[in-house]
């Protein structure tokens, strides 16, 4: 499929976690606007939240929002679903996140896993500056930021035989996922940089004309995967076998208090792991 058509389809049907979260609100206060070669990065406050958006404050979605009264609480359902991946991999020592935004995932993981090394790849340097200035993101020996394309970084990590316990894919603007981060060829590189029991956690479509093709693509590379859904879809796939129900439940109990404090409801989150998808016959895979 032509890249333009793929982008248009994604733009039309991608269900983002932030969709309709805030809607069009009156009285938003613009705090910061920064130009980059990708467009304007805006920071504004409304309804007790500080948010980041691209190009306009008036939009159907938000890149990031932080609750000003409780900054550690995760505002969006997709970030809560992604954090529940600790049920599948409870103690990752090395984490790669593609996409920074306002650093909700990075800041949360750094608090919960203070010994873990967290590498983030973000294509837009302006986002890195805004995340530091307005959302509390701090680089350091265990919190490292790389300004480049996520696929280029992952392909180089593959060549250099680097491995991660967890790879989180959270790279898109408000209306589409870059098509080169959706294909069989890309996911094969992702799988190659996972440790033997490592997992990939992808924030992606909830309703889309590409839904079956994306499912078939992940299944072709990883086999059966967990298919979590609430506003967004979060795919949790593994290089090796998926953990069973007993393991998931034990890890959920282990993380109950810490994840509960940031908004993850343990029973509801665990129930989502009852949904899995596998190989889909007769569906065209997404390829470069």
Q: Is 229 exposed, middle or buried (0-12, 13-18, 19+ CB in 10 A)?
A: middle
Same domain, 111 and 230: yes
Same domain, 52 and 86: no
- Residue 278 CB neighbour total at 10 angstroms: 13
Same domain, 147 and 235: yes
User: 200 pLDDT band (50/70/90 cuts)?
Assistant: very high
Q: How far apart are CA 134 and CA 129, in angstroms?
A: 9
Q: Dump pLDDT digits (tens) for 74-110.
A: 999 999 999 999 999 999 999 999 999 999 999 999 9
- This prediction has a pTM of 0.89
Q: Are 16 and 22 in contact (CB under 8 A)?
A: no
Q: Does residue 102 belong to any structural domain of this protein?
A: yes
Same domain, 50 and 170: no
Tokens coding 67: 């609750």
pLDDT at 52: 92
pLDDT beyond 90 at 49: yes
Same domain, 49 and 158: no
pLDDT at 199: 98
Count: domains in the chain = 2
pLDDT beyond 80 at 275: yes
**Mean predicted lDDT score pLDDT of the chain:** 89
Domain coverage including residue 33: 29-67
User: 11 pLDDT band (50/70/90 cuts)?
Assistant: very low
pLDDT at 280: 79
Active site residue 67: no
User: Of 198, 197, 219, 207, whose CA–CA distance to 284 is shortest?
Assistant: 219
Same domain, 151 and 34: no
Same domain, 35 and 116: no
59, 119, 165, 170: the active-site residue = 170
Same domain, 134 and 44: no
Q: Helices marked H in the chain — which ranges? A: 3-13, 77-83, 104-112, 125-134, 150-159, 184-192, 211-222, 245-260, 266-272
Query: Rounded to the nearest 5°, which phi and psi values hold at 237?
Result: -125, 160
Q: Tell me the mean pLDDT in the region 237-261.
A: 98
User: 61 pLDDT band (50/70/90 cuts)?
Assistant: low
Q: At which of 39, 67, 95 does a domain end?
A: 67
Q: Does residue 8 belong to any structural domain of this protein?
A: no
Q: Tell me the mean pLDDT in the region 38-45.
A: 92
Same domain, 138 and 185: yes
Q: Dump pLDDT digits (tens) for 174-183.
A: 556 888 999 9
Q: Does residue 58 belong to any structural domain of this protein?
A: yes
Q: Are 88 and 167 in contact (CB under 8 A)?
A: no
Q: Tokens 């530091």, residue?
A: 132
pLDDT at 6: 43
């Amino acid at each position: 499929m032509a890249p333009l058509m793929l982008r248009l389809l994604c733009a039309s049907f991608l269900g983002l976690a932030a969709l309709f979260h805030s809607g069009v609100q009156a009285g938003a206060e613009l705090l910061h606007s920064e130009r980059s070669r990708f467009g304007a990065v805006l920071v504004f406050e409304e309804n007790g939240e500080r948010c980041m958006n691209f190009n306009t404050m008036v939009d159907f979605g938000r890149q990031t929002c932080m609750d000003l009264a409780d900054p550690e609480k995760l505002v969006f359902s997709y970030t809560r679903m992604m954090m529940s991946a600790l049920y599948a991999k409870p103690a990752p020592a090395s984490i790669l996140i593609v996409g920074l935004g306002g650093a909700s995932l990075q800041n949360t993981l750094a608090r919960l896993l203070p010994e873990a090394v967290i590498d983030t790849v973000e294509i837009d340097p302006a986002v890195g500056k805004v995340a530091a200035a307005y959302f509390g993101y701090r680089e350091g020996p265990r919190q490292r930021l790389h300004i480049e394309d996520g696929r280029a970084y992952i392909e180089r990590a593959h060549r250099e035989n680097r491995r991660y316990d967890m790879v989180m894919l959270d790279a898109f603007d408000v209306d589409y996922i870059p098509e080169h981060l959706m294909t069989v060829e890309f996911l094969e590189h992702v799988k190659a940089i996972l440790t033997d029991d490592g997992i990939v956690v992808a924030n992606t479509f909830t309703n889309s004309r590409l839904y079956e093709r994306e499912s078939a693509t992940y299944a072709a590379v990883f086999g059966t995967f967990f298919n979590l859904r609430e506003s967004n879809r979060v795919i949790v796939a593994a290089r090796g076998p998926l953990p069973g129900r007993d393991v998931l439940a034990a890890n959920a109990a282990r993380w109950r208090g810490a994840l509960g404090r940031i908004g993850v409801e343990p029973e509801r989150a665990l129930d989502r792991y009852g949904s899995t998808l596998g190989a889909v016959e007769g569906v065209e895979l997404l390829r470069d």
